[in-house]
Amino acid sequence: MSKIALITGATAGIGEACAHVFARERYDLILTGRRADRLEKLAYQLNKEYNVEVAVSSFDVRDRDVVISKLEELPAEWKKINVLVNNAGLSMGLDPIQKGSYDDWETMIDTNIKGLLYVSRVVSNWMINNGFGHIINLGSIAGKEVYANGNVYCASKHAVDALNKGMRIDLLPYGIKVTAVHPGAVETEFSEVRFKGDKARAKKVYEGFEPLVAMDIAETIWFAVSRPAHVNINELTVMPTAQATATNIFRKSG
Ligand code: NDP
Ligand code: 8X3
């Protein structure tokens, strides 16, 4: 079997772009996400285009028992995972703390922190048994800075930043690499999800400047993964040229 990458949140955006890049680099893939139809379509396309093996597993990363059983039911040969991309994540709402939605908060915490933990717990044990592995955690500029109304999303990504560092320490004796990639503004379905389907509001986020595209982040992840065995990239913060901080974006008017 070729090398294997497991990508969470492969149905859209950065995860989907990672699937293309890893397939191009001849990795067999395990693709996960909730939308099974999108996973099936992507698997068919990648198999046809790159002649790689693609397994799909549709589950919600918030459901601990389902995450564990869906991953553990994979055949033994698929557990020889070289790379885990912990990408599934989202932001919901953009409200001041005193007006925040309890449901939005729980969705972000359960997906971005707990979902990432559930997947990592299972896969890191496989990696320890295999004697190799590289975990890529999708953080954010929101995990490095805090901006108005970003409160809980920022907190969830600060948690990813901490977990990235903690995982690296705990997995050090096993030679497992751990890397975080922290993007600035990437135009994906992210803002549409944040604004609950309001496409016009989502579009405004990227107006007047050139945002990153999902492929920019996928290629950055590939850069980290393709370093020699003795080199680990601890973390990379990747921004559009027009963005200096979470909130300083140079927009051209008109
Ligand atoms: P998209 O909305 O385009 O993709 C998000 C992916 O996460 C989808 O595949 C979605 O799959 C999956 N996902 C969301 N919730 C769950 C869940 N409960 N269970 C399983 N899968 C889930 O967004 P991006 O590609 O932009 O985001 C990818 C990652 O990058 C996220 O962690 C995000 O926080 C981070 N990020 C994004 C930035 C941006 O500007 N876009 C900047 C910085 C970081 P499905 O809905 O099918 O389950
Ligand atoms: C997504 C980027 O700036 O909306 O993590 O937090 S931002």
Domains plus CATH for the chain? 4-238 (3.40.50.720)
Catalytic, 118? Answer: no
33 lines ligand 1 (CB under 6 A): yes
C-alpha 158/C-alpha 146 separation (Å) is 9
Take atom 46 of ligand 1 and give the residue whose Cα is closest: 34
The reported pLDDT for the residue numbered 243 is 98
Once rounded to an integer, what is the mean pLDDT over residues 185-210? 98
pTM exceeds 0.75 for this model:
yes
List Cβ neighbours of 46 (8 Å cut-off, separation of 6 or more).
19, 20, 23, 29, 52, 54
Percent of the chain with pLDDT over 90: 99
246 lines ligand 2 (CB under 6 A): yes
The reported pLDDT for the residue numbered 120 is 99
Closest CA to 31 of 67, 85, 75: 85
Ligand closest to Cα of 144 equals 2
C-alpha of residue 33 to centroid of ligand 1, in Å: 9
pLDDT in tens, 126-144: 999 999 999 999 999 999 9
Q: H helices within 90-211, ranges in order? A: 102-108, 116-130, 151-171, 190-194, 199-204
Out of 90, 91, 151, 238, give the residue to mutate to test ligand 2, the one with the largest number of ligand atoms within 8 Å of its CB: 91
Ligand closest to Cα of 160 equals 1
Considering the candidates 27, 50, 118, 153, report the single residue annotated as catalytic: 153
pLDDT band for position 254 (cuts 50, 70, 90): low
- Over 80: is that where the pLDDT of 176 sits? yes
pLDDT in tens, 87-117: 999 999 999 999 999 999 999 999 999 999 9
C-alpha 92/C-alpha 103 separation (Å) is 9
90 lines ligand 1 (CB under 6 A): yes
19 lines ligand 2 (CB under 6 A): no
Secondary structure class of 6 (helix, strand, coil): strand
